[in-house]
Amino acid sequence: MEPFINIRALIIDMDGVLWHGDQAIPGLTDFFQTLRAQNFRFILATNNASLTPPQYVNKLAKMGVTVTENEILTSGMATALYLSQHEDPATTRVFVLGEAGASEPLRQCGFTLTGLYQLNSAKTPGEGADIVVCGKDQTLSWDKLATASLNIRAGAKFIGTNADTTLPTEYGITHGNGAILAALQAATGVSPTIIGKPEPIIYQQAMALLGTDPAETVAIGDRLETDILGAVRTGIRSLMVLTGVSTQADLEASDYGPTWVMADIRAVTEALKTLAA
Protein backbone atom coordinates (compact mmCIF):
# COMPACT_ATOMS: atom_id res chain seq x y z
CA MET A 1 0.00 0.00 0.00
CA GLU A 2 1.25 3.49 -0.85
CA PRO A 3 2.61 5.48 2.11
CA PHE A 4 0.15 7.91 3.68
CA ILE A 5 2.19 11.05 2.96
CA ASN A 6 2.26 14.30 0.94
CA ILE A 7 -1.34 15.28 1.70
CA ARG A 8 -2.20 18.96 1.76
CA ALA A 9 -5.89 19.01 0.89
CA LEU A 10 -8.92 16.73 1.01
CA ILE A 11 -12.05 16.50 -1.14
CA ILE A 12 -14.53 14.81 1.18
CA ASP A 13 -17.81 13.13 0.30
CA MET A 14 -20.65 13.47 2.84
CA ASP A 15 -23.41 10.82 2.58
CA GLY A 16 -22.00 7.55 3.90
CA VAL A 17 -18.75 9.20 5.01
CA LEU A 18 -19.85 11.85 7.52
CA TRP A 19 -23.40 10.70 8.18
CA HIS A 20 -26.28 8.37 7.35
CA GLY A 21 -29.28 10.62 6.76
CA ASP A 22 -29.48 12.81 9.87
CA GLN A 23 -27.33 10.51 12.01
CA ALA A 24 -23.66 11.48 12.34
CA ILE A 25 -21.13 8.71 11.91
CA PRO A 26 -19.09 8.24 15.14
CA GLY A 27 -15.94 10.35 15.23
CA LEU A 28 -17.34 13.23 13.17
CA THR A 29 -16.39 16.10 15.49
CA ASP A 30 -12.89 14.74 16.18
CA PHE A 31 -12.33 14.39 12.44
CA PHE A 32 -13.05 18.08 11.80
CA GLN A 33 -11.14 19.21 14.88
CA THR A 34 -8.11 17.36 13.47
CA LEU A 35 -8.53 18.98 10.05
CA ARG A 36 -8.58 22.42 11.65
CA ALA A 37 -5.75 21.73 14.11
CA GLN A 38 -3.43 20.48 11.37
CA ASN A 39 -4.49 23.13 8.82
CA PHE A 40 -5.71 20.73 6.16
CA ARG A 41 -7.60 22.50 3.41
CA PHE A 42 -10.80 20.72 2.44
CA ILE A 43 -13.90 20.88 0.29
CA LEU A 44 -17.00 18.87 1.14
CA ALA A 45 -17.94 17.70 -2.34
CA THR A 46 -21.16 15.74 -2.64
CA ASN A 47 -23.13 14.26 -5.50
CA ASN A 48 -26.30 14.97 -3.51
CA ALA A 49 -27.86 18.06 -5.11
CA SER A 50 -30.92 18.31 -2.87
CA LEU A 51 -29.55 20.79 -0.31
CA THR A 52 -28.00 24.26 -0.61
CA PRO A 53 -24.70 25.24 1.08
CA PRO A 54 -26.51 27.06 3.95
CA GLN A 55 -28.58 23.92 4.54
CA TYR A 56 -25.42 21.78 4.72
CA VAL A 57 -23.83 24.32 7.08
CA ASN A 58 -26.88 24.03 9.34
CA LYS A 59 -26.93 20.24 9.13
CA LEU A 60 -23.32 20.01 10.25
CA ALA A 61 -23.88 22.60 12.96
CA LYS A 62 -26.57 20.36 14.46
CA MET A 63 -23.95 17.61 14.58
CA GLY A 64 -21.47 19.85 16.39
CA VAL A 65 -19.32 20.81 13.39
CA THR A 66 -18.68 24.32 12.03
CA VAL A 67 -17.95 24.80 8.34
CA THR A 68 -18.40 27.71 5.94
CA GLU A 69 -20.40 27.80 2.72
CA ASN A 70 -17.11 28.23 0.84
CA GLU A 71 -16.08 24.75 2.02
CA ILE A 72 -19.05 23.08 0.32
CA LEU A 73 -19.43 22.05 -3.33
CA THR A 74 -22.52 20.13 -4.40
CA SER A 75 -23.23 18.56 -7.78
CA GLY A 76 -25.99 21.18 -8.09
CA MET A 77 -23.43 23.95 -7.75
CA ALA A 78 -21.07 22.15 -10.13
CA THR A 79 -23.89 21.79 -12.67
CA ALA A 80 -24.75 25.50 -12.55
CA LEU A 81 -21.10 26.47 -12.96
CA TYR A 82 -20.63 24.02 -15.85
CA LEU A 83 -23.74 25.25 -17.66
CA SER A 84 -22.83 28.92 -17.14
CA GLN A 85 -19.52 28.18 -18.88
CA HIS A 86 -21.23 26.51 -21.85
CA GLU A 87 -24.52 28.41 -22.23
CA ASP A 88 -25.71 32.02 -22.02
CA PRO A 89 -27.73 32.27 -18.78
CA ALA A 90 -29.52 35.39 -20.03
CA THR A 91 -31.17 33.50 -22.90
CA THR A 92 -31.34 29.93 -21.60
CA ARG A 93 -34.43 28.43 -19.97
CA VAL A 94 -33.99 25.49 -17.59
CA PHE A 95 -36.51 23.06 -16.12
CA VAL A 96 -35.24 21.61 -12.86
CA LEU A 97 -36.49 18.29 -11.59
CA GLY A 98 -34.97 18.59 -8.14
CA GLU A 99 -34.89 20.54 -4.91
CA ALA A 100 -33.39 23.88 -3.83
CA GLY A 101 -29.86 22.51 -4.02
CA ALA A 102 -30.27 22.10 -7.78
CA SER A 103 -32.44 25.12 -8.58
CA GLU A 104 -30.85 27.88 -6.46
CA PRO A 105 -27.34 27.71 -8.00
CA LEU A 106 -28.87 27.95 -11.47
CA ARG A 107 -30.99 30.93 -10.43
CA GLN A 108 -27.94 32.60 -8.88
CA CYS A 109 -26.06 32.14 -12.17
CA GLY A 110 -28.83 34.03 -13.98
CA PHE A 111 -30.72 31.20 -15.70
CA THR A 112 -34.49 31.44 -16.13
CA LEU A 113 -36.25 28.48 -14.53
CA THR A 114 -39.45 27.15 -16.08
CA GLY A 115 -42.34 25.60 -14.19
CA LEU A 116 -44.43 22.48 -14.53
CA TYR A 117 -46.52 21.93 -17.62
CA GLN A 118 -50.23 22.28 -16.91
CA LEU A 119 -51.03 18.84 -18.26
CA ASN A 120 -54.75 19.01 -17.48
CA SER A 121 -55.21 22.40 -19.10
CA ALA A 122 -57.26 22.75 -22.26
CA LYS A 123 -54.70 25.30 -23.42
CA THR A 124 -51.09 24.66 -24.42
CA PRO A 125 -49.17 23.07 -21.54
CA GLY A 126 -46.66 25.92 -21.15
CA GLU A 127 -43.41 27.33 -22.48
CA GLY A 128 -40.68 24.78 -22.87
CA ALA A 129 -37.10 24.67 -21.61
CA ASP A 130 -33.77 24.54 -23.42
CA ILE A 131 -32.22 22.33 -20.75
CA VAL A 132 -33.59 19.80 -18.26
CA VAL A 133 -31.54 19.40 -15.08
CA CYS A 134 -32.36 16.42 -12.91
CA GLY A 135 -31.20 16.10 -9.30
CA LYS A 136 -32.35 14.18 -6.22
CA ASP A 137 -35.96 15.13 -5.48
CA GLN A 138 -37.91 13.96 -2.44
CA THR A 139 -41.04 15.65 -3.85
CA LEU A 140 -40.88 13.72 -7.12
CA SER A 141 -44.25 13.56 -8.88
CA TRP A 142 -45.86 12.34 -12.07
CA ASP A 143 -46.15 15.95 -13.33
CA LYS A 144 -42.44 16.59 -12.76
CA LEU A 145 -41.45 13.45 -14.64
CA ALA A 146 -43.91 14.26 -17.42
CA THR A 147 -42.67 17.85 -17.77
CA ALA A 148 -39.06 16.69 -17.91
CA SER A 149 -39.90 13.96 -20.45
CA LEU A 150 -41.85 16.30 -22.72
CA ASN A 151 -39.06 18.90 -22.70
CA ILE A 152 -36.39 16.30 -23.47
CA ARG A 153 -38.50 14.82 -26.26
CA ALA A 154 -38.89 18.34 -27.67
CA GLY A 155 -35.11 18.70 -27.90
CA ALA A 156 -34.01 20.05 -24.51
CA LYS A 157 -30.53 19.02 -23.38
CA PHE A 158 -30.68 16.41 -20.61
CA ILE A 159 -28.31 17.04 -17.68
CA GLY A 160 -27.98 14.90 -14.56
CA THR A 161 -26.38 16.43 -11.48
CA ASN A 162 -25.19 12.93 -10.57
CA ALA A 163 -25.92 9.32 -11.43
CA ASP A 164 -25.86 7.62 -8.00
CA THR A 165 -28.46 4.87 -8.25
CA THR A 166 -28.62 4.44 -4.46
CA LEU A 167 -28.40 6.61 -1.34
CA PRO A 168 -27.32 5.50 2.16
CA THR A 169 -29.72 6.68 4.90
CA GLU A 170 -30.22 5.98 8.59
CA TYR A 171 -32.93 3.50 7.51
CA GLY A 172 -30.78 1.66 5.00
CA ILE A 173 -29.92 2.11 1.33
CA THR A 174 -32.63 3.60 -0.85
CA HIS A 175 -32.87 4.93 -4.42
CA GLY A 176 -30.73 7.84 -5.59
CA ASN A 177 -30.88 10.29 -8.47
CA GLY A 178 -29.63 7.69 -10.91
CA ALA A 179 -32.93 5.86 -10.53
CA ILE A 180 -34.79 9.02 -11.61
CA LEU A 181 -32.43 9.48 -14.55
CA ALA A 182 -33.08 5.88 -15.58
CA ALA A 183 -36.83 6.52 -15.64
CA LEU A 184 -36.41 9.60 -17.82
CA GLN A 185 -33.99 7.82 -20.14
CA ALA A 186 -36.45 4.94 -20.51
CA ALA A 187 -39.24 7.42 -21.30
CA THR A 188 -37.28 9.50 -23.81
CA GLY A 189 -34.52 7.31 -25.21
CA VAL A 190 -32.04 10.08 -24.40
CA SER A 191 -28.99 9.55 -22.18
CA PRO A 192 -28.11 12.37 -19.75
CA THR A 193 -24.84 14.25 -19.52
CA ILE A 194 -23.56 13.69 -15.96
CA ILE A 195 -21.78 16.45 -14.02
CA GLY A 196 -21.07 14.78 -10.66
CA LYS A 197 -18.74 11.93 -9.77
CA PRO A 198 -17.39 9.76 -11.41
CA GLU A 199 -16.93 12.48 -14.02
CA PRO A 200 -13.82 14.59 -13.25
CA ILE A 201 -15.70 17.92 -13.43
CA ILE A 202 -16.61 18.30 -9.76
CA TYR A 203 -13.15 17.18 -8.56
CA GLN A 204 -11.48 19.63 -10.94
CA GLN A 205 -13.72 22.43 -9.68
CA ALA A 206 -12.92 21.48 -6.07
CA MET A 207 -9.16 21.62 -6.71
CA ALA A 208 -9.57 25.03 -8.34
CA LEU A 209 -11.32 26.25 -5.18
CA LEU A 210 -8.63 24.72 -2.98
CA GLY A 211 -5.77 26.01 -5.10
CA THR A 212 -3.96 22.71 -4.75
CA ASP A 213 -2.06 20.38 -7.04
CA PRO A 214 -3.46 16.90 -7.86
CA ALA A 215 -0.33 15.30 -6.38
CA GLU A 216 -1.13 16.67 -2.92
CA THR A 217 -4.92 16.26 -2.99
CA VAL A 218 -6.81 13.19 -1.76
CA ALA A 219 -10.48 12.31 -2.30
CA ILE A 220 -12.34 10.59 0.55
CA GLY A 221 -15.51 8.66 -0.29
CA ASP A 222 -17.58 5.58 0.36
CA ARG A 223 -18.72 4.63 -3.12
CA LEU A 224 -16.44 2.78 -5.49
CA GLU A 225 -18.22 3.62 -8.75
CA THR A 226 -18.49 7.38 -8.08
CA ASP A 227 -16.09 8.75 -5.46
CA ILE A 228 -13.22 6.39 -6.21
CA LEU A 229 -13.65 6.06 -9.97
CA GLY A 230 -13.95 9.84 -10.17
CA ALA A 231 -10.63 10.21 -8.37
CA VAL A 232 -9.03 7.67 -10.74
CA ARG A 233 -10.32 9.57 -13.77
CA THR A 234 -9.12 12.88 -12.30
CA GLY A 235 -5.66 11.53 -11.53
CA ILE A 236 -5.71 12.02 -7.76
CA ARG A 237 -5.27 9.61 -4.87
CA SER A 238 -8.30 8.37 -2.96
CA LEU A 239 -9.30 6.88 0.36
CA MET A 240 -12.41 4.72 0.73
CA VAL A 241 -14.22 4.25 4.03
CA LEU A 242 -16.43 1.22 4.61
CA THR A 243 -19.36 3.03 6.25
CA GLY A 244 -21.36 3.69 3.10
CA VAL A 245 -22.40 1.83 -0.03
CA SER A 246 -19.33 -0.08 -1.28
CA THR A 247 -17.91 -3.06 0.59
CA GLN A 248 -14.65 -4.97 0.78
CA ALA A 249 -16.21 -7.57 -1.52
CA ASP A 250 -16.93 -4.85 -4.09
CA LEU A 251 -13.29 -3.83 -3.98
CA GLU A 252 -12.09 -7.37 -4.55
CA ALA A 253 -14.34 -7.69 -7.60
CA SER A 254 -13.27 -4.37 -9.14
CA ASP A 255 -10.47 -3.74 -11.64
CA TYR A 256 -9.78 -0.31 -10.07
CA GLY A 257 -9.66 0.83 -6.48
CA PRO A 258 -8.68 3.48 -3.95
CA THR A 259 -5.16 4.23 -2.81
CA TRP A 260 -6.16 3.41 0.77
CA VAL A 261 -9.09 1.67 2.48
CA MET A 262 -10.08 2.45 6.08
CA ALA A 263 -12.94 1.37 8.29
CA ASP A 264 -14.39 4.82 9.02
CA ILE A 265 -13.55 8.48 9.66
CA ARG A 266 -12.18 7.59 13.08
CA ALA A 267 -9.49 5.56 11.34
CA VAL A 268 -8.92 8.42 8.88
CA THR A 269 -8.53 10.84 11.80
CA GLU A 270 -5.86 8.67 13.41
CA ALA A 271 -4.01 8.40 10.09
CA LEU A 272 -4.12 12.19 9.62
CA LYS A 273 -2.73 12.73 13.12
CA THR A 274 0.34 10.69 12.21
CA LEU A 275 1.19 13.17 9.45
CA ALA A 276 1.95 15.81 12.08
CA ALA A 277 3.82 13.44 14.38
Q: Model confidence over 15-32: pLDDT tens digits? A: 999 999 999 999 999 999
- Separation between Cα atoms, residue 174 and residue 172, nearest integer Å: 6
* Whether residue 81 has pLDDT greater than 80: yes
Binding site for substrate, by residue number, is 197
Q: How many residues does the chain have?
A: 277
Catalytic residues: 13, 15
Residues 237, 259 contacting (CB under 8 angstroms): yes
**Which fold is adopted by the domain 9-47+200-275?**
Rossmann fold (3.40.50)
Spans of all domains in the chain: 9-47+200-275, 76-194
Mean pLDDT throughout 204-222?
96
> Which band of pLDDT confidence, cut at 50, 70 and 90, is reported for residue 169?
confident
Q: Do domains 9-47+200-275 and 76-194 have the same CATH topology?
A: yes
The model carries a pTM of 0.90
Binding site for Mg(2+), by residue number, is 13, 15, 222
Tell me the pLDDT of the chain averaged across its residues: 94
CATH architecture of 76-194: 3-Layer(aba) Sandwich (3.40)
pLDDT in tens, 87-97: 999 999 999 99
Binding site, by residue number, is 13, 15, 197, 222
Q: What is the pLDDT of residue 89?
A: 97
Residues 117, 126 contacting (CB under 8 angstroms): yes
pLDDT in tens, 102-151: 999 999 999 999 999 876 654 455 679 999 999 999 999 999 999 999 99
